[in-house]
Amino acid sequence: MRLFLVLLLSIFLVSCGTPMGKIKEGTEVLLSVSKIVSFGNDYGIKRKTNVFVSYTSGGVQGELQGMLHKVKKETVIIINEYGNKVSIPRDNISYISEW
């Protein structure tokens, strides 16, 4: 009985929090790369979701809007509005947000 209550309480506490992967569309929430490790694909954003990415490349700040295609070990692949796949090194990403 005690084990059942502990299990039930832990499920309740986990479900009370708002998971990063369930952020509603249209909210202006920035997902800091350093804070969201270990949520699914490390970003908590599902594939084929529209994203806004801010990154730096050679000391120059850049921004990209598109659809999240794949998150790999060292790169994030975004499909831009023209249908081209753009690979961005994970170390260069400042933040990612859904839109």
Q: What is the DSSP string of 31-98?
A: EETTT-TTSTTTT---TT-EEEEEEEETTEEEEEEEEEEEE-SSEEEEE-TTS-EEEEEGGGEEEEEE
pLDDT band at residue 42 using 50, 70 and 90 as cut-offs: low
Residue that has been written with the tokens 């998971």 in this structure:
19
Are 18 and 31 in contact, with CB atoms under 8 Å apart? no
| Six token digits for residue 69 | 């295609």
| pLDDT tens digit sequence for 48-65 | 889 998 998 888 899 999
| pLDDT tens digit sequence for 82-94 | 999 999 998 888 8
Does domain 2-98 fall under CATH 2.30.30.520? My reply is: yes
- Residue-level pLDDT at 15: 56
Mean pLDDT value across the chain? 73
| pLDDT tens digit sequence for 26-39 | 444 445 444 443 33
Amino acid found at 84: N
